[in-house]
Amino acid sequence: FQQWYSNSMKVICMWLADRLDLQLHVYQLKTLIKIVKKTYRDFRLQGVLEGTLNSKTYDTVHSRLTVEEATASVTDAGGLQGITMKDSDE
């Protein structure tokens, strides 16, 4: 599971890195937020260690999506429809 999680985050990170100079479309952003949050939660429930879950790759993805979310909330009012990188338990 640890390798599966790490590879999943690496793929998302590489995809975002390829589009570093482009702003994500609101639908891309909503989908990626859902995928990243669900992946994180599901693998945490499967017993993947915190060190693996909170890797540098995950931090990079999380940071990028948080910045994109902030940009989208300023430029596209209501486009995210309540979808956010912030966990509901925070």
- Residue-wise pLDDT tens digits, 41-73: 999 999 999 999 999 999 999 999 999 988 888
- Helix intervals (H) in 22-84: 26-45, 50-53, 56-75
Please report the pLDDT score of residue 90 as a whole number. 42
**Residue 67 in domain:** yes
How many domains is the chain partitioned into structurally? 1
- Report how far residue 72's alpha carbon sits from residue 26's, in angstroms, rounded to the nearest whole number: 7
Contact present, 2 and 49 (Cβ < 8 Å) = yes
- Report how far residue 76's alpha carbon sits from residue 37's, in angstroms, rounded to the nearest whole number: 22
Mean pLDDT of the chain: 88
pTM, entire model: 0.84
Q: At what angle do helices 2-18 and 26-45 cross, to 10 degrees?
A: 160
- Report how far residue 68's alpha carbon sits from residue 85's, in angstroms, rounded to the nearest whole number: 10
**Residue 86 in domain:** no
Looking at the predicted structure, is the pLDDT value of residue 78 above 70?
no
Q: Which domain does 20 fall in, by range?
A: 1-75
Query: Residue 89's pLDDT band (boundaries 50, 70, 90)?
Result: very low
